[in-house]
Structure 1
């Protein structure tokens, strides 16, 4: 029966058994307490798939596994502890911790990196990357030079968030599909009858910003108004006959809503406002914005899973985009005729 399956990997076994690749690794290696936490029925299902397929673990992968420290590094290009960042990063870190715990690995948060030119750098004279078996990277803007060096040095790492190629080489990541989610929301607005849409936010720089604008353009067209800042945007939007505005940042949506209220405009009756990401910091505004939610916790989980595949010598797709969940909210409705 094994010949029908060809050369299998742990990822194939995980897919056939309906479990994570980390679970398959734990079953194969019987790693102490972590392995003991696997439900007996789950273990039996994995072992049954292994027997049916004739899977044999790669000896090289096993030798690599024996040399690991069972430590996963986490590096953030922005501080994660201040309250302004904590709400945003917490779900990512929660997912990373949860998956690492299931894999029987410790987490090491790298905090000694110096700030240069206003940004933290992972490479410096005292960097201790090699203490960890591999590293999860978080941050809105990650320098391409650092990604290129990580790829060039063949250091195992995964970015949380989509990244462009670095030095001509693909960068491993688990990201959110902002482009598709934004396009879906724009199409929804058009279905409701909106004909003039606008985008508010930078739409440049980080991949996440460019993806949102690209998704908007995909649905609204290249000539749809794009304003980089919320301040003063309402006058331009209303003058252009825009009835639905797509806002990159939650705080900018609040600014627009407050400006609309001051002018006696009702949201969404007079102007629909859509936010392109879930709320991460408290905002003093009663509106339940329509938009989408980012699968941040699942992104953290899958980043660890993808890193585990690298560490086990698996040859698999190094990039994943996860779907965002649309949020109906109360700020998108049919325009007033």
Structure 2
């Protein structure tokens, strides 16, 4: 049976380094970590998991908090978390909150009880600030992914939502639209607020005064967005928006269906855009113009950063902003050949 010394000799590292990797008690460079993991696999080394757990008091499990597991935004992000976690011998426990504070309290309770070693939070809201701060005060590893919470001293991996809002509005403006509406997300969502802010900046730069009825909550949901589009469709043709930007692709689907039900042609009568670039946006029957959010990369970088924190890497808090891309398809009338 192989021993830790055998692993160290095979990987060309010290016994201490092997121990750090197996127990995740200290940060180890990716190159050395990969060599140790490869040696473990090649020599079929099986550590005494029960004894290790008692020694280092770790669950080898990280928590991933999402707001709505049925939302197709999350599978790519969650897959990245699992892919990275498994490479380092961790499991991922997913917690679905539905943006309800009670669910977040349950997750924090699990962290305090030692059932998870770190937490990736994709759904932070203002109501969650005190709970998350209580973990940070105890130096419990927390990484915010996708959704920021202003003023919280935690690591953050997010997309450039402000730039996304500007990209969406500028695309509509370039197509000649002036009455451009934006259906926003859940109240208090920093993602929605940043995207709306980018849209408003682009409209200001174009010298267009945004009317109050042009910015309404669609809550990133199909039904709510459908109802908002019905309101727009019932306005007089010379006053209703000619272009609708939705804060999510799911919401944009509601806009498309409402437009069809009201006899409006897309994109001739109304242009439609979404956010996220979910798999359904590329369906031949949809071909939705959207802003692509790098969901897998969000999950990958968040998990790698969290595992470094669990490994007690002492570095400054990190704030990473990932770029977004405009994906042009047919719902705005200017589909690119590679859209």
With structure 1 as the length reference, what TM-score do the two structures score? 0.69
1:33 matches 2:37: yes
Gaps of 5+ in 2: 1-25, 42-54, 219-224, 335-339
Aligned partners of 1:161 and 1:106: how far apart in 2?
22
Match of 1:178 among 154, 157, 161: 161
Aligned partners of 2:272 and 2:92: how far apart in 1?
41
Deviations 1:99-137 (A, max 9, x none): 2233x2312416699x97664424566655534432222
Deviations 1:3-39 (A, max 9, x none): xxxxxxxxxxxxxxxxxxx9972434576325778xx
Question: Cα–Cα, structure 1 residues 123 and 94, in superposed 2: closer, same or farther, change >3 Å?
Answer: closer
State how 1:137-216 maps to structure 2 within 5 Å.
137-139=121-123, 141=125, 143-165=128-150, 168-202=151-185, 204-216=187-199
Q: Return the offset for 1:300.
A: 0.7
Q: Secondary structure of the equivalent of 2:330?
A: coil
Deviations 1:194-234 (A, max 9, x none): 22211123463211221221121121236242122431233
1:89 corresponding residue in structure 2:
74
Question: Cα–Cα, structure 1 residues 181 and 35, in superposed 2: closer, same or farther, change >3 Å?
Answer: farther
Instruction: Report the more deviating stretch, 205-214 or 272-281.
Output: 272-281
Aligned partners of 2:148 and 2:113: how far apart in 1?
20
Higher relative contact order (CA 8 A, sep 6+): 1
Aligned partners of 1:177 and 1:308: how far apart in 2?
24
Match of 1:227 among 210, 216, 227: 216
Deviations 1:302-326 (A, max 9, x none): 0012223333424244221212232
Aligned partners of 2:234 and 2:196: how far apart in 1?
21
Match of 1:100 among 57, 65, 85: 85
Aligned partners of 1:203 and 1:123: how far apart in 2?
21
1:54 corresponding residue in structure 2:
none
Q: Secondary structure of the equivalent of 2:147?
A: coil
Q: Return the offset for 1:77.
A: 4.8
Question: Cα–Cα, structure 1 residues 325 and 24, in superposed 2: closer, same or farther, change >3 Å?
Answer: farther
Gaps of 5+ in 1: 1-21, 38-65
- Indicate conservation of the 8 Å contact 1:249/1:275, yes or no: yes
Q: Return the offset for 1:284.
A: 10
1:321 matches 2:321: yes
1:246 matches 2:245: yes
- Indicate conservation of the 8 Å contact 1:182/1:216, yes or no: yes
- Indicate conservation of the 8 Å contact 1:212/1:276, yes or no: no
Question: Cα–Cα, structure 1 residues 123 and 135, in superposed 2: closer, same or farther, change >3 Å?
Answer: closer
Question: Cα–Cα, structure 1 residues 129 and 136, in superposed 2: closer, same or farther, change >3 Å?
Answer: farther
Question: Cα–Cα, structure 1 residues 111 and 202, in superposed 2: closer, same or farther, change >3 Å?
Answer: closer
Deviations 1:26-76 (A, max 9, x none): 434576325778xxxxxxxxxxxxxxxxxxxxxxxxxxxx95848241232
- Indicate conservation of the 8 Å contact 1:200/1:227, yes or no: yes
With structure 2 as the length reference, what TM-score do the two structures score? 0.68
Superposition RMSD in Å: 3.7
